[in-house]
């Protein structure tokens, strides 16, 4: 007889909390790979320093960073007027900075509030950027550093490819999770079952494809995000001649057809897209949907488009009443094909905290 299977996180009572639930910290991985921003790396570490400073006003910032990079990073962080009491460096070397995708996905026990991590396989978005061995080892290192239970899952999954409402629903895209460069031997049904078994969700809601220029094959955190249990904010393109108009309109139509477990329509907030942003002839996946929710605030990517940036901020303020909306200039950061949500991973607060 074969060995009995280990209990899954869901079977043990764990679930993935929604991003707006109380957080202990936000994890980042310090940027150092110059090829990610060819010819434009110099402004990137200061952007990260600003991000650290902004988050540190509200909660802890924990940074994966090789030891040799720490002195320069600390100088930038200090210059950005960060709260030093809320910054912790961990000598965890990485290949790149996309902590949303190579970091752990935290889960929390429904009954006790115990925190644990799910450690999925990371293959650099279908083997696009070598090497990725250091990135793939980050969840285990964080688990050891925090002394948390770790569930090792032999399936490829990136944090930016999913979004949850904390109440049983998960939003994702077919273009990413069904792409054969991730889990080619798994059917849609098997992928859904894997998500149910490990993230404490009941149902998977599928959108179609992602933005032009998105090298992740269509991560949902550039498209559509839950802002409450029955509310979804989604990127829309008004320019019919834009390459993103068709895919985003199709996703919007899918969202309108979806129903909550109680059979009601979702509240849908439409988030404008920034005007087309390109670099060296390549369209970049600039999107206001790549915001980061933290305790008391929402950090929103801005793209030096005053009217569009302001309009997006108004929409997000309506979605997250009581939270400060803080724009952060991501004009250069998006050259790496991601912004604020892509570079971060929230660590939920442990314990039994009322929602």
- Residues 27-49 have a mean pLDDT of 97
Q: CB–CB of 107/16 below 8 Å?
A: yes
Give yes or no: 319 in active site. Answer: no
Give the model confidence (pLDDT) of 120-144 as tens digits. Answer: 999 999 999 999 999 999 999 999 9
Q: 2-16, 30-44, 287-301: which has the minimum mean pLDDT?
A: 2-16
Q: Which domains does the chain have, with CATH numbers?
A: 14-348 (3.75.10.10)
- Residues 167-174 have a mean pLDDT of 98
CA 306 to chain centre: 25
Q: How confident is the model at residue 353 (pLDDT cuts 50, 70, 90)?
A: low
Q: CB–CB of 217/125 below 8 Å?
A: yes
pLDDT in the model for residue 48: 98
Structure-token match 């996309």, residue found: 98
State percent of the chain over pLDDT 90: 97
Give the model confidence (pLDDT) of 211-261 as tens digits. Answer: 999 999 999 999 999 999 999 999 999 999 999 999 999 999 999 999 999
Q: Rounded distance, CA 303 to CA 276, Å?
A: 10
Q: Rounded distance, CA 159 to CA 17, Å?
A: 13
Phi (first) and psi of residue 9, to 5 degrees:
-55, -45
- Residues 300-304 have a mean pLDDT of 98
Residue 354 has pLDDT above 70, yes or no: no
Give the model confidence (pLDDT) of 77-95 as tens digits. Answer: 999 999 999 999 999 999 9
Catalytic residue among 319, 330, 337, 342: 342
């Amino acid at each position: 007889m074969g060995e009995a299977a280990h209990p899954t996180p869901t079977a043990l009572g764990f679930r993935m909390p929604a991003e707006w639930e109380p957080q202990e910290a936000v994890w980042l991985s310090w940027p150092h790979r110059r090829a990610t921003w060819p010819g434009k790396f110099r402004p990137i570490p200061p952007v990260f320093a600003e991000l650290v400073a902004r988050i540190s006003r509200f909660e802890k910032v924990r940074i994966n960073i090789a030891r040799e990079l720490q002195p320069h990073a600390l100088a930038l962080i200090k210059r950005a007027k960060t709260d030093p009491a809320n910054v912790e460096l961990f000598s965890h070397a990485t290949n790149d900075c996309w902590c949303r995708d190579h970091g752990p996905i935290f889960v929390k026990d429904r009954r006790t509030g115990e925190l644990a991590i799910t450690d999925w396989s990371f293959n650099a978005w279908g083997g696009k950027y070598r090497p990725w061995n250091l990135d793939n080892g980050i969840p285990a290192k964080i688990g050891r550093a925090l002394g948390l239970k770790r569930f090792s899952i032999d399936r490829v999954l990136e944090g930016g490819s999913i979004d949850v409402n904390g109440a049983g629903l998960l939003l994702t895209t077919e273009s990413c999770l069904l792409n054969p460069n991730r889990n080619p031997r798994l059917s849609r049904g098997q992928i859904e079952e894997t998500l149910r078994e490990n993230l404490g969700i009941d149902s998977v809601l599928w959108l179609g494809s992602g933005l032009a220029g998105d090298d992740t094959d269509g991560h949902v955190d550039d498209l559509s995000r839950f802002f409450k249990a029955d509310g979804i904010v989604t990127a829309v393109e008004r320019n019919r001649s834009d390459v993103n108009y068709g895919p985003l309109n199709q996703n919007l139509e899918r969202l309108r057809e979806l129903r909550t477990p109680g059979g009601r329509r979702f509240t849908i907030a439409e988030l404008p897209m920034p005007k087309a942003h390109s670099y060296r002839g390549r369209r970049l996946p600039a999107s206001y949907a790549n915001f980061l929710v933290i305790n008391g605030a929402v950090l929103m990517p801005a793209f030096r488009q005053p009217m569009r940036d302001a309009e997006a901020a108004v929409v997000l303020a309506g979605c997250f009443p009581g939270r400060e909306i803080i724009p952060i200039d991501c004009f250069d950061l998006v050259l790496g094909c991601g912004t604020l949500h892509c570079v971060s991973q929230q660590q939920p607060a442990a314990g039994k905290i009322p929602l």
